Structure formats: C-alpha cells, structure tokens
C-alpha cells in the first residue's frame, strides 16, 4: 500500500525512523516532511543517525504563529497529497504537523491512520491536546500505545460504530482502535546496548558533552521546550528550580527555548551547563547515566521510565500517566515548583545513594522491544485490506 507518512518535528522523525523498516518491508511508504523543524540539530541530523531516507516531499513551512504555520502546512499538503494519491495518510503524535496531515487527509477523503492515538492530558490549554483530540476524531485507524489510551478513545465514543464514521460505515471508513505499543520503546531497546558504557557520555560523546567531563550519577539531565515553559516568567521559574536542585545540570536546549531565553533577561544558574540539542543516542546515554532527569518532554518522560532513571516532570499534568505508573513512583510531576522539585529529587535520587545507584542502573537496565513497529505495519495492512 502506498502510505503518505506526514512528519515535521524531531519526535516525529524519531517515531517514523522506528517504524520505517517494518513499513518499507510491508508497504510503499512515502515521507512527507512539513519542515516544521528545519535546524540541522533538531531535524537534519536524525535522518542520518536513524537511517531515515531523505523526504520524498519537503514542504519547508518553518516557524510562525500556530495559525500561520498550520495554514502553510495545509496549503502545502493539499497539492502534494492530491499528486501522491496515497492509499492512506499516516500521522504521528500531536504536533501541528499531525493536525495538518489529519485535516488535509479528511478534506480529501483519504484513509487516515493516527499513531499514538488516545493520549489525553485533559488540559486544552496545550496545543498538543487540541491536535491529538482532532486527529483522533478524524482518523479511522487509531493506533494507541497502551490500554489507557484506548480506554480514553472509547470514553469519547471513538471506535467501531462511532459518530464520526457512522454505525453503518464499512471497509476503511469503519473506525477501529488497536493497542500497538510504543514505537519509541522499540528504538530505545535497540539503542540501549550502544550507550550502556560510560564512554557514551565521555570519550565517545560529541565534543560539547565530552568537554563537560561527566561521571555517571553525578549530574542531572534536563530538557525544556513546552510552549508554557517559554513564557518569560516561566523561564525564570524553571531556571530557579534547576538552580535550587544544587547539582550539576546538563541542559540540552531546544533552539526555540534558547531564543526565548535570549529574549528575556534571564541568568543561568552556575550549576546549569547549557548545551545544544543532542543526537538521539547521546540523549539516551545522558538519560541512562544521569542521577535523574528533569523534563517537560513527552519522549524523555517515557525513555527515562524505560531506562529506570528517576524523573522530575516540569508540568502540572501529563498524557503519559500509564508511563508514570509503570515507572513505579520514580517520576514526579513538579511543575515549576522548586520546593516540590527539591523534595522529589531527594526522595527519588538521594545524594547519598548516587552515583552508586546510577552506575548499577546503567549496567543492569533492560528495555524490551514493544514490537510496535510490526504491529503498526500489520494493523495498517489489515485495515486497508478490510
Ligand atoms: C513542537 C511541537 C511540540 C513538540 C516539539 C518537539 C507543536 C504545537 N509543538 O514544538 O508538540 O513537543 O515540537 O520538539 O507542534 N525553532 C527553531 N528551529 C527549528 C524549529 C523551531 O529555532 O528548526 C524555534 C522557532 O523560534 C520557533 C520555535 O522554535 O518559533 C517553536 O517551534 P515550533 O515548531 O512552533 O514548536 P516546538 O516548540 O518546536
Ligand atoms: N531528544 C534528542 N535530543 C535532545 C532532546 C531530545 O534526540 O536534545 C529526543 C529524546 O530522546 C526523545 C525525543 O527527542 O527521543 C523527544 O522529542 P521532544 O522532546 O522534542 O518532543 P516531545 O516528545 O515532547 O513531543
């Protein structure tokens, strides 16, 4: 089947890369890149590192207000999908590229599959929540990463016989929900053996990380990029939080966050070492060997849970509640509250127990493949054959 896989951002390149081998084995996938992310350090490098082929179509929309960015994506996608005439459109996750792919597929009456369907933070102030709700209600094939996401869809009436496709819908139009596991877990499992050795954050790491002279368990790894954490007040708050943790923090800065920090008069605390965004394997290595992770990223929340690294989540809610539960209490939602964060860090990664616990964890971590790649591909084949 000819599949138009719409991507645009770092996590979507990573998810598409995780699925690509299975999709290419079973189908004829085409990679349509909206160009939402365009900088080498958060886009280009992942094609090479994760062996994703260059995009078949590059829309080059770039940045802008959400409305302008979305409009440019829709404008660019429509002629491309009309020209490609795919058997189905596949969208991943919850970004503006996901929403644009879903809207244009629906408008052109093309079969639509949503990978990572059903996640809910129940916070509609987040653009991602709007994007995933709309994509879920437009898609006919809803591939949920876990049972909880599937239950969220059922609670909204999405699935066989739902209001959107109509109780009498047949073939691909009949909405169906499948639990397929998490593509990012597959990639994490495959990459873990390559970063287990401490050299992945030392002599084997890119220069900007190698130069920090990191030792296992003696630093925290942080990423921050949510829109809510880019407001000037929020930046001051989470920087103060990182300062209050009073341990060495490696902060891999998304270029959008760096820009927002440059625009506000912020002072980076002396224990915080800002580095550019890193490649996939180095980011996994930095999580594995850290005493704890501090993040607002959906992907990093899950990866740290799979690796067993304690996590402080810089948000008030999360759509990855199932991951938090699986993490057995080693993740804490702390928002931007420094007092909560300091207490959670001492509870989850007590200074006295590190680096010993981190060294043991890195040596013993086991991540099982989820098999999501094969299940995504097989579910699409079954759906389109129906
Ligand atoms: C987007 C997604 C978010 C996802 C994240 C992954 C939406 C609404 N948000 O957030 O869900 O978690 O990607 O990283 O789709 N910028 C650059 N270089 C780039 C791209 C962006 O400097 O290559 C800067 C620009 O200043 C831009 C800002 O980052 O205005 C925000 O970019 P945008 O694509 O709007 O959203 P992200 O914050 O990256
Ligand atoms: N990531 C990366 N380099 C970084 C920060 C994150 O490769 O400097 C990876 C991370 O390991 C995970 C994915 O990017 O696999 C998560 O993407 P991101 O945080 O941009 O978006 P989200 O998951 O929040 O949508």
d(CA 180, CA 376) in angstroms, rounded, equals 6
**Phi-psi map region of 371: left, alpha, beta (phi>0 left; psi -120 to 50 alpha):** left
Mean pLDDT of 309-328: 88
Q: What is the mean pLDDT of the chain?
A: 95
d(CA 154, CA 162) in angstroms, rounded, equals 9
**Percentage of the residues of the chain whose pLDDT score is greater than 70:** 97
Q: Is the pLDDT of residue 165 over 90?
A: no
Q: Is the pLDDT of residue 354 over 90?
A: no
Mean pLDDT of 236-247: 97
CA angle 288, 352, 310 (to 5 degrees): 30
Residue of 225, 254, 273, 289 with catalytic role: 225
38 lines ligand 1 (CB under 6 A): yes
User: Confidence band (pLDDT; 50, 70, 90) for 380?
Assistant: very high
pLDDT for the residue numbered 167: 61
Ligand of minimum distance to the alpha carbon of 70: 1
Q: Is the pLDDT of residue 105 over 80?
A: yes
Residue to mutate (ligand 1; options 8, 34, 37; most atoms within 8 A of CB): 37
Beta carbons within 8 Å of 80's beta carbon, 6+ residues apart: 4, 32, 57, 59
User: Confidence band (pLDDT; 50, 70, 90) for 170?
Assistant: confident
Of ligand 1's atoms, which has the minimum distance to the CA of residue 298?
12
pLDDT for the residue numbered 54: 98
pLDDT for the residue numbered 161: 53
Mean pLDDT of 4-31: 98
Mean pLDDT of 6-14: 98
Identical fold, 2-182+370-384 and 189-364 = yes
Q: Is the pLDDT of residue 324 over 90?
A: no
The rounded Å distance from CA 46 to ligand 2 centre is 11
Beta carbons within 8 Å of 62's beta carbon, 6+ residues apart: 35, 36, 38, 69, 72
Residue to mutate (ligand 1; options 9, 261, 295; most atoms within 8 A of CB): 9
d(CA 311, CA 302) in angstroms, rounded, equals 10
Mean pLDDT of 169-191: 95
Rg (Cα) of the chain, in Å, rounded?
20
pLDDT for the residue numbered 199: 95
Q: Where are the domains of the chain?
A: 2-182+370-384, 189-364
Of ligand 2's atoms, which has the minimum distance to the CA of residue 93?
25
> What distances in angstroms separate CA 194 from CA 188, 356, 363, one per listed residue?
10, 21, 12
Unique residue bearing structure tokens 């992770």: 293
Residues linked to residue 7 through DSSP beta bridges, in sequence order: 33
Residue-wise pLDDT tens digits, 191-200:
999 999 999 9
> What distances in angstroms separate CA 245 from CA 163, 239, 261, 277, 293, one per listed residue?
49, 10, 20, 22, 12
Q: Is the pLDDT of residue 162 over 90?
A: no
User: Confidence band (pLDDT; 50, 70, 90) for 284?
Assistant: very high
The better pLDDT of the pair 159, 152 is held by: 152
Question: 3-state class of 155 per DSSP?
Answer: helix
Mean pLDDT of 344-357: 92
Ligand of minimum distance to the alpha carbon of 8: 1
Of ligand 2's atoms, which has the minimum distance to the CA of residue 46?
7
Contact present, 206 and 285 (Cβ < 8 Å) = no
3-state percent helix, strand, coil for the chain, nearest multiple of 5: 50, 15, 40
Residue to mutate (ligand 2; options 300, 309, 317; most atoms within 8 A of CB): 300
Q: Under CATH, domain 189-364 is a member of which superfamily?
A: Glycogen Phosphorylase B; (3.40.50.2000)
Contact present, 244 and 338 (Cβ < 8 Å) = yes
Residues with CB under 6 A from ligand 2: 10-11, 14, 184, 223, 225, 252, 277-280, 283-284, 297-300, 303
Contact present, 90 and 113 (Cβ < 8 Å) = yes
Torsion of CA 269, 231, 279, 100, to 10 degrees: 180
User: Confidence band (pLDDT; 50, 70, 90) for 386?
Assistant: low
The CATH code belonging to domain 2-182+370-384 is: 3.40.50.2000
42 lines ligand 1 (CB under 6 A): yes
Q: Is the pLDDT of residue 327 over 90?
A: no
Is 21 among the catalytic positions?
Answer: no
d(CA 359, CA 196) in angstroms, rounded, equals 10
């Amino acid at each position: 089947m000819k599949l138009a896989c719409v991507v645009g951002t770092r996590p979507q390149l990573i998810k598409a890369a995780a699925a690509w081998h299975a999709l290419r084995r079973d189908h004829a996938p085409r990679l349509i890149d909206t160009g939402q992310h365009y900088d080498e350090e958060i886009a280009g490098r992942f094609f090479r590192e994760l062996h994703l082929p260059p995009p078949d179509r590059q829309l080059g929309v770039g940045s802008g207000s959400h409305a302008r960015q979305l409009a440019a994506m829709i404008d660019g996608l429509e002629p491309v999908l009309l020209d490609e005439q795919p058997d189905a459109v596949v969208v991943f996750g919850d970004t503006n590229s996901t929403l644009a792919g879903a809207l244009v597929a629906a408008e052109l009456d093309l079969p639509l599959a949503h990978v990572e369907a059903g996640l809910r933070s129940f916070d509609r102030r987040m653009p991602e929540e709007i994007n995933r709700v709309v994509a879920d209600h437009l898609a006919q094939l809803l591939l949920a990463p876990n049972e909880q996401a599937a239950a969220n869809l059922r609670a909204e009436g999405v699935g066989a016989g739902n209001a959107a496709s109509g109780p009498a819908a047949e073939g691909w139009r009949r909405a169906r929900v499948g639990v397929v596991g998490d593509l990012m877990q597959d990639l994490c499992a495959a990459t873990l053996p390559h970063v287990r050795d401490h050299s992945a954050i030392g002599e084997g790491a890119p220069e900007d990380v190698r130069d920090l002279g990191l030792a296992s368990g003696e630093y925290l790894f942080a990423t921050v990029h949510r829109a809510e954490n880019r407001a000037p007040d929020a930046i001051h708050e989470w920087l103060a939080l990182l300062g209050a943790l009073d341990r060495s923090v490696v902060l891999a800065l998304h270029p959008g966050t760096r820009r927002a920090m440059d625009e506000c008069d912020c002072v980076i605390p002396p224990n915080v070492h800002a580095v550019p965004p890193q490649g996939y394997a180095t980011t996994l290595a930095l999580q594995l060997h850290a005493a704890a992770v501090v993040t607002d990223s959906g992907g990093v929340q899950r990866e740290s849970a799979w690796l067993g690294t304690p996590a402080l989540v810089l948000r008030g809610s999360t759509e990855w509640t199932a991951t938090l539960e699986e993490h057995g209490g080693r993740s804490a939602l702390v928002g931007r509250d420094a007092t909560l964060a300091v207490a959670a860090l001492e509870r989850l990664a007590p200074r006295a127990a590190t680096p010993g616990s981190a060294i043991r964890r890195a040596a013993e971590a086991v991540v099982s493949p989820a098999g999501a790649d094969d299940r995504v591909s097989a579910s699409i084949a079954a759906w389109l054959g129906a």
